[in-house]
Amino acid sequence: MDAVTQTIDAVAGLLAEGGVVVLSGAGLSTESGIPDYRGPSGVARRHTPMTFQAFTQDPVARRRYWARSHLGWRTIARAAPNDGHAAVARLQRGGLVDAVITQNVDGLHTAAGSTPVVELHGSLDAVVCLDCGDRTTREELDRRLRDANPGFSAEVSAVNPDGDVDLPDAQVSRFRPVDCAGCHTGMLKPDVVFFGETVPPARVATCFDLVRRARALLVLGSSLTVMSGRRFVIRAAKQGIPVAIVNQGPTRGDGYATVRVDAPLGVVLPELADRLAPRASLAAPRADAAVTRG
C-alpha cells in the first residue's frame, strides 16, 4: 500500500463518523478552469492585487479593476463544478459533512448542490453600491457594462481566482465603468472582500462556531498562506479537533494537520465519496442551498 493510499484511508477514517466541516480554497476550483495563486496550476500575478483603499480612492485604479474584471468574470461565470465540488456535495448529502466554509468567490460549491455554504470572502455573482447599499446581480451589471462599452473585448490568457485578468493599459483607458442604477451616483463594488478589507465579523463568528462544533476539519485546496483561512485551522488544533489537509504542495497549516494528503483533489475526493457516501451519488442536488455572505 503506497503512502497516498494510506493517508486517504486515514482521511476516510476521520470522515466516517460525520460532523465534518470543510474549509476549501482556490485549489479546489483549478479543475474547473480557474487557476489558483500558489499551487501547481497557479498563474503568477503580473500586477498588484486590488486593495480596498485603491478601489475606493483612485478612479483610475477602479476603472482598471472593472475593465479587467468585466472580461475575467465571463470565464468565472462559465465555469462548472468539477468532480471535487460534486464529491463534497455527495458527502454532505450522505450526512458526513455538516457545512462548507469556502475562501473561493466562484460560487461552485453552491452550484454543485452543497448546503450550507459560508462564502468567507463573498461572491463575484453579486454587486453592492457602497453609497446606498443597493445589491444587484453580476449578470445585470454585465449587461450594463456591455451597453456602456460596445465592442470592448480582449484575448484573455489567464484568469485569477478573483476573476481578475491581465490587460494592457491602452485597452483599460477606453473602458467606461458605470455607477449604481438605484441612486445613479453610487460607487459599485463586487460583493467580495478585497485586500485591506476585513471579513464581516458576523461571518467570521459563524465560521468559528462551525469549527467549534465540528468533529473534524477537512481543508481542501488551500495553501493556508493567508490568516483569513488559517485561523480556523489553528482554532481547531487548539481545541483538539482533528485536521485533515488535502492539497497539492505544502501549506502553512501542515504543522497542525492530523492527516496530510499531497494529491489531486479530483482524485482523492471522488474516492472518499465513493467509499463513504455511495448512495448519495444517486441523489439530486438540493434546491434549498443556503449561502452565508453577511
Give the model confidence (pLDDT) of 225-261 as tens digits.
Answer: 999 999 999 999 999 999 999 999 999 999 999 999 9
pLDDT, averaged across the chain: 88
103 is in an annotated binding site: yes
**Which residues are CB-contacts of 90 (< 8 A; sequence separation ≥ 6)?**
273, 277, 280, 281, 283
What pLDDT score does 281 carry? 58
106 is in an annotated binding site: yes
- CA distance readout (Å), 170 to 54, 151, 167, 278: 20, 15, 8, 53
C-alpha cell at 111: 452550484
180 is in an annotated binding site: yes
Asked if residues 267 and 95 have their Cβ atoms less than 8 Å apart, the reply is no
239 is in an annotated binding site: no
More confident residue, 185 or 161: 185
71 is in an annotated binding site: no
Percent of the chain with pLDDT over 70: 85
pLDDT (mean) for 108-132: 96
Percent of the chain with pLDDT over 90: 72
Any idea where the domains of the chain sit in the sequence? 1-34+82-121+198-294, 45-78+125-192
CATH of 1-34+82-121+198-294, picked from 3.40.50.1220, 2.60.40.10, 3.50.50.60, 2.60.40.420, is 3.40.50.1220
What pLDDT score does 125 carry? 92
pLDDT surpassing 60 at residue 40:
no
132 is in an annotated binding site: yes
149 is in an annotated binding site: no
What pLDDT score does 278 carry? 87
What pLDDT score does 74 carry? 80
Query: Quick check: is 121 catalytic?
Result: yes
Cα torsion through 225, 226, 232, 238, rounded to 10: 60
Give the model confidence (pLDDT) of 206-232 as tens digits.
Answer: 999 999 999 999 999 999 999 999 999
Active-site residue, from 47, 109, 121, 184: 121
pLDDT (mean) for 27-50: 68
Please, which contacts does 227-236 make with residues 24 or more away whose CB atoms are closer than 8 Å? 228/103, 228/120, 228/121, 228/193, 228/199, 229/23, 229/25, 229/101, 229/103, 229/120, 232/23, 232/101, 232/207, 232/208, 233/23, 235/208, 235/211, 236/211
More confident residue, 294 or 78: 78
247 is in an annotated binding site: yes
Asked if residues 251 and 23 have their Cβ atoms less than 8 Å apart, the reply is no
122 is in an annotated binding site: no
What pLDDT score does 287 carry? 42
Asked if residues 119 and 102 have their Cβ atoms less than 8 Å apart, the reply is yes
CA dist., res. 84 & res. 109, Å (int): 9
Give the model confidence (pLDDT) of 1-18 as tens digits.
Answer: 477 888 999 999 999 999
pLDDT surpassing 50 at residue 270:
yes
CATH of 45-78+125-192, picked from 2.60.120, 3.30.1600, 3.30.1390, 3.10.450, is 3.30.1600
Residue entry with cell 483569513: 228
What pLDDT score does 45 carry? 44
Give the model confidence (pLDDT) of 132-183 as tens digits.
Answer: 999 999 999 999 999 999 988 765 555 666 656 666 677 788 899 999 999 9
